[in-house]
Amino acid sequence: MTLRDDLTALLADAGIIDVDIDKAVEDEHVRSAAYRRVISVAAAATSRDGDRALVATILRDPEEMTARTAVVDLVDTIATKTTDPADFQKWSAEILPEIDRFSTEGNRGFVHRRVHDWMFWLSVKAGHTPTPDELADVTDWMQRRIAEESTSAPVLTVLAEHGRTKKIRNIARNRAEIRT
């Protein structure tokens, strides 16, 4: 299939009719915006059955960074809608084989790390208090997100003591003080 065919099919499946396909084929920014809209529609669906095919189609984009951005957007959107770590783990296991189609290890690794970060986030939201070693295995981005959003005093205490950056430690310390 061509990029034009892929875009036409994705947009039609999402019921999006106001995207200029010619512009989307020519300009990765227009295409990226179209992918975000398609992902928004797909993420709102109750069934996750089409997500692997969606990822496979997006990964055929000739601009790998555009494809990576779209896939990460899907991962982020599904993770923020998920409340059960087991559901997210099952979902991510379905799409991760497609991620290996990225030509660069950096892009494959980035998506794998993002999935790992969200698994960690969901476990913390479900009540798990991470150890310093577990905390060391997630990115600064996720540590900061947890410091900014967690309502668990024990989690904030671990971050205040073992967060990777001074900013993360300070955010967690300030929020932990408010909680006590």
Claim to verify: residue 70 and residue 122 sit in the same structural domain: yes
Q: Domain boundary at 85, 103, 128, which?
A: 128
Question: Which of 111, 128, 145 is where one domain is finished?
Answer: 128
Q: What is the mean pLDDT of residues 33-62?
A: 96
Whether pLDDT at 110 is above 90 = yes
- 0.85 cut: is pTM over it? yes
- Torsion angle, CA of 36/40/42/44, rounded to 10 degrees? 170
Residues 75 and 143 in one domain: no
pLDDT tens, residue by residue, 117-165: 999 999 999 999 999 999 999 999 999 999 999 999 999 999 999 999 9
C-alpha angle with apex 164: 158 to 165, nearest 5 degrees? 110
**Has residue 83 got a pLDDT over 70?**
yes
Same-domain status, 121 and 137: no
Token look-up 């875009």 returns 7
Q: Are residues 116 and 167 in the same domain?
A: no
Residue 179: the pLDDT is 61
Are residues 115 and 141 part of one domain?
no
| Mean pLDDT, the chain, whole residue set | 95
Based on the fold, state whether residues 100 and 153 are members of the same structural domain: no
Supply the range of the domain harboring residue 30: 3-128
Question: Both 88 and 18 in a single domain?
Answer: yes
The pLDDT score that the predictor gives to residue 164 is 96
Does one domain contain both 177 and 94? no
Residue 62: pLDDT band by 50, 70, 90 thresholds? very high
- 166-179 and 140-149 helices, crossing angle to 10°: 20
In this structure, the answer to whether residues 62 and 75 fall within a common structural domain is yes
Is 180 a residue whose pLDDT tops 60? no
**Residue 52 — φ and ψ, nearest 5°?**
-65, -40
The domain total for the chain is 2
